[in-house]
Amino acid sequence: MEDFAARLPKAELHLHLEGSVDAGMLHELDPAAPLEELRALYQYADFNAFLKSFGAVVKRLERPEDYALVTRRLLERLAAQNVRYVEIIIAAGVVLWKKQEFGPIFDAIHDAARGSAVEVRWILDAVRQFGVEPAMEVAHLAAARQDRGVVAIGIGGSEERGPAEWFKDVYAFAKSEGLHLTAHAGEGTSPESVWEALVLGAERIGHGIAAVRDQGLLRHLRERDIPLEISITSNLVTGVVKSLEEHPLRALYDAGVPIVLNTDDPAMFGCTLTDEYRLAAKAFGFTEAELTGIAENGFRYGFGRKGVT
Ligand code: HPA
Ligand code: ZN
């Protein structure tokens, strides 16, 4: 299995650029910052503490060159794991919150991804609890960059402090512009939150693990062919799932819901995509044939190319 998971051609559909930044990279960007202080950012007691740390890491990415450097590092790591296709989520909502200009940052990461062995597309994420206005701005930023590989918008952050229904007009606008739609939902909350994301028109659900508690929702996801972007280690580290034994991956898979495996925030959760596949095999008995099918889902459910340069 060790070699099988490593060799398998893989795709990632739920991977935050900023969550791929480790303490070493932050130190490289700011050598004056004590390493111990930077390492302390990578400890979280719960999901909300994780969100705070995520924000603190993003704050340390100041210049477009910083974003470019971490993009190159991420793509090197993905190529080494035989990841062939990736949709990288950019916390555009946090860029706006930092009062930075998004254009030069996107230009820098787009340039950094040129020539990579990994085929790259981008998803611009808004932050739920920041509200509708900045989310609409994120949708406009995404719509204007579809010729450069932006394929979708999403919402992340706190489901409790930013209900999906707030973003109805944002998603309708994004759809009318030809963008695809995804949303973090049902991560630490409820099946209702997943239903709300579906009402918005989400074509994939980030996490969505709460769906396991709603048979009707499982049926809906299966029949409408809507995949869940699952990240096992993420769920354990943020504490939304209390133990590996309690993780619903096997139950969701057995219910016929399309599954894609992802790292979410690999540096912040100390995981790799290859290890997520190994974990699925070890903890839940996924066979090589099943893992091959899951890896194929990564390509099948990708939002893909449309006249990209
Ligand atoms: N959920 C919500 N917000 C996030 C996540 C996540 O998994 N990762 C980064 N921001
Ligand atoms: Zn995420």
| CA of 11 relative to ligand 1 center, distance in Å | 19
Looking at residue 306, what is its pLDDT? 47
Looking at residue 85, what is its pLDDT? 98
Contacts of range 248-253, beta carbons closer than 8 Å, 24 or more positions apart: 248/209, 248/212, 249/209, 249/280, 249/284, 250/284, 250/285, 250/286, 251/212, 252/209, 252/211, 252/212, 252/218, 252/228, 253/284, 253/286, 253/290
Residue 246 lies in a domain: yes
Q: Whose CA is nearest to atom 7 of ligand 1?
A: 264
Q: Which ligand lies nearest to the CA atom of residue 240 in the structure? A: 1
Length in residues, the chain: 309
pLDDT mean by block of 10 residues, the chain; 309 residues = 89 98 98 96 96 98 98 98 98 98 98 97 98 98 98 98 98 98 97 98 98 98 98 98 98 98 98 98 98 98 70
Distance between CA atoms of residues 238 and 46, nearest Å: 5
Residue 308 lies in a domain: no
Distance between CA atoms of residues 301 and 303, nearest Å: 6
| CA of 160 relative to ligand 1 center, distance in Å | 13
Looking at residue 282, what is its pLDDT? 97
Looking at residue 2, what is its pLDDT? 61
> What CATH number has the domain bearing residue 230?
3.20.20.140
Please check whether residue 288 is in contact with residue 242, taking contact to mean a CB–CB distance below 8 angstroms: no
Residue 111 lies in a domain: yes
Residue 309 lies in a domain: no
- The residues annotated as belonging to the active site are 187
Distance between CA atoms of residues 46 and 51, nearest Å: 9
What is the full DSSP assignment across 60-97? T--SHHHHHHHHHHHHHHHHHTTEEEEEEEE-HHHHHH
Ligand 1 neighbourhood includes 159 CB (under 6 angstroms): no
Residue 158 lies in a domain: yes
Residue 67 lies in a domain: yes
User: Which domain does 290 fall in, by range?
Assistant: 2-300
Looking at residue 78, what is its pLDDT? 98
Quickly tell me which residue has 């960059």 as its tokens: 145
Residue 307 lies in a domain: no
Residue 306 lies in a domain: no
Six token digits for residue 126: 């808004």
Ligand 1 neighbourhood includes 54 CB (under 6 angstroms): yes
Distance between CA atoms of residues 10 and 80, nearest Å: 11
Closest Cα to residue 160, out of 210, 203, 122, 123?
210
Looking at the CA of residue 18, tell me the nearest atom of ligand 1. 9
Ligand 1 neighbourhood includes 301 CB (under 6 angstroms): no
In the chain, the number of structural domains is 1
Distance between CA atoms of residues 209 and 42, nearest Å: 24
β-pair partners for 127: 156
